[in-house]
Structure 1
Amino acid sequence: MSNLSKLEFVALDISGNNYPSWAFDTKTHLEAMSLGETIIDGNKTSLQEKAKAMAFLRFHLHEDLKRENSTVEDPLELWKNIQERFDHLKLVLLSKTRYKWVHLRLRDHKTVSEYNSAFLRITSELKLCGEKITDEDMLEKTFSTFHASNMLLSQQYRERKFTKYSELISCLLVAEQNNKLLLQNHQARPVGASPLPEANAANYQSGRGRGRGRGRGRGRSNTWQRESQNSKSSGGESSRQNTGRPPRGRTSESQNNICYKCGMSNHWSRTCHTPKL
């Protein structure tokens, strides 16, 4: 039983909604365990093999289904009981899946991958319900559901004489990826546009750098002017200390503070309000 507990397909639900897939998984695993004959009429399997198959079947049943068949000891009898109860659900599922098949169209999906996933899911459900789906049916379904604007493309694919659906879908997926790449290249540089020369790109970058430098220079100049004006209001000595630019040709402090326009001290001529003569 340690090996049975490692199996990971979903147990049969009390509603029977997953009966088709459960029946397929159960048969497959019984065959892999060499116990497939235990659910076939007229089998001559040993009691030990029947016990193993019985344990496996009950392990993958809903608890309510286990209780309903608690007195059944033969795996073939249990298998038939389950079939009698849920086999009609295949007809219900088949009707729903046929409806999906009829309305499945390639043009209704954004990508080929999305269409392929939906297509394979529907065909798998049809096969589980006993419907026979051939590669010819799958190819015709795909060709006939191309978008109207791709009628010529559909005809070109028909002329390639595909015999398997997998070959067609592989070709469509590659074509879709190539189209995406072409579109990305076009958006990166449209038709007629020329790439930016490397020399111009370098000059453009250096020009931007000079622009930023000038901006910073102007900022420092404005700051210096404000500091200079503030320092002038506090006297000539502090002005010279802040600016570091004493008048040329003057050495004495009194001469440095004399206004050349009015002859007064403690201010400069450029800040003097005395009108020119």
Structure 2
Amino acid sequence: MSNIAKIEFPALEITGENYMPWTAHVKRHLKSMGVLETIQEGNKCSEQDKAKADVFLHKHIDKMLQFEYSNCDDPHMLWKDLQSRFDHQKEVLLPTARDEWNNLRFQDFKKVNEYTSALFRICSTLKFCGQNVTEEDMLEKTFSTFHASNINLQQQYRLQKFKRYSDLNSFLLVAEKNNELLMKKS
């Protein structure tokens, strides 16, 4: 019974800084509960489904937001109010994400996983803000930011004609491990 009361993901902060991941989490959870349509305009959901969604939403917002919206028991209205309050995060996040994308360089990272984590975080933010980032963009960003001393390696990877970043990432991880093993033997 105590598992039911647990928060499945971090609550929406009063500042709205985590609005982007919060909305994605909420939508997934409401969908899995079968009540996603309760946050949509003009829904014809049962009162029980609305109550289920309302409890879930209130449980996953900051305590001060809970207090502020304590009289709001319509999940669609709560969702709409939170959206109008925090959806500006896209405009706040976009310039920073673009700057991070422009300055992201594979050569600046010691580990492939560190680079990949930064790449996916930036891409997720850009996508949230309505900017399309393709697999080709991620591949080109990676190839074009190899250290100049690795130009031959860059060319070898380009010749592989990867279609997905995950395929390139696998090759890079294997190369990193092989390099670590060689360094240990030296």
Equivalent residue number for residue 90 of structure 2: 90
User: 2-side partners of 1:52 and 1:155: how far apart?
Assistant: 55
Mark the CA change 1:127 to 1:4 in structure 2 (over 3 Å): closer, same or farther: farther
Match of 1:215 in 2: none
SS at structure 1 position matched to 2:72? coil
- Which residue is equivalent to 2:24? 24
Count of matched residue pairs: 186
Is the partner of 1:34 in helix, strand or coil? coil
Deviations 1:11-60 (A, max 9, x none): 11111111111111111100010010001112111011001111111111
Output the CA distance in 2 between the equivalents of 1:62 and 1:146: 42
CA distance, structure 2, for counterparts of residue 3 and residue 36 of structure 1:
21
Higher Cα radius of gyration: 1
- Equivalent residue for 2:112? 112
Q: Secondary structure at the match of 1:140?
A: helix
- Offset at residue 2 of structure 1 (A): 6.5
Task: Give 1:162 shift.
Answer: 0.3
Q: Structure 1: which amino acid aligns with 2:93?
A: L
Aligned-pair CA distance for 1:7: 3.5
Query: Is the aligned partner of 1:67 residue 2:67?
Result: yes
Kindly indicate which of the two structures has a greater share of residues assigned to helix. Answer: 2
CA distance in 2, matches of 1:37, 1:69: 20
What are the residue-to-residue correspondences of 1:262-273 with 2, within 5 Å? none
Give the structure 1 partner of residue 33 of structure 2.
Answer: 33
- Give per-residue Cα distances to partners, 1:206-261, cap 9 Å, x unaligned: xxxxxxxxxxxxxxxxxxxxxxxxxxxxxxxxxxxxxxxxxxxxxxxxxxxxxxxx
- Identify unmatched segments of 5+ residues in structure 2: none
- Aligned residue for 1:103? 103
Percent identity over paired residues: 55
Deviation at 1:118, TM superposition (A): 1.6
Gapped regions of structure 1 (runs ≥ 5)? 188-277
CA deviation digits over 1:160-191, x for unaligned, max 9?
11001000011011011112222332x2xxxx
In structure 2, the partner of 1:151 is 151
Contact 1:20 1:129 in 2 (8 A): no
Instruction: Name the CA distance, whole Å, in 1 between partners of 2:76 and 2:92.
Output: 25
Partner of 1:184: 184
RMSD across aligned positions (CA): 1.6
Pairwise CA distance, 1:100:
0.8
Structure 1 residue ranges, 4+ long, deviating more than 6 angstroms after superposition: none
Higher relative contact order (CA 8 A, sep 6+): 2
Normalising by structure 1, report the TM-score: 0.64
Instruction: Tell me whether 90-99 or 162-171 shows the greater mean CA deviation.
Output: 90-99
Work out the CA distance in 2 between the residues paired with 1:4 and 1:36.
Answer: 19
Q: After superposing the two structures, state which structure 1 stretch, 4-13 or 47-56, moved more.
A: 4-13
Indicate if the aligned counterparts of 2:13 and 2:61 stay in contact, CA closer than 8 A: yes
How far the C-alpha of 1:3 sits from its partner, in A, is: 6.3
Matches within 5 A, 1:1-277: 4-185=4-185, 187=186
Q: Shift of residue 115 of structure 1?
A: 1.3
Secondary structure at 2:12 match in 1: coil
- CA shift in 2, pair 1:10/1:77, >3 Å: same
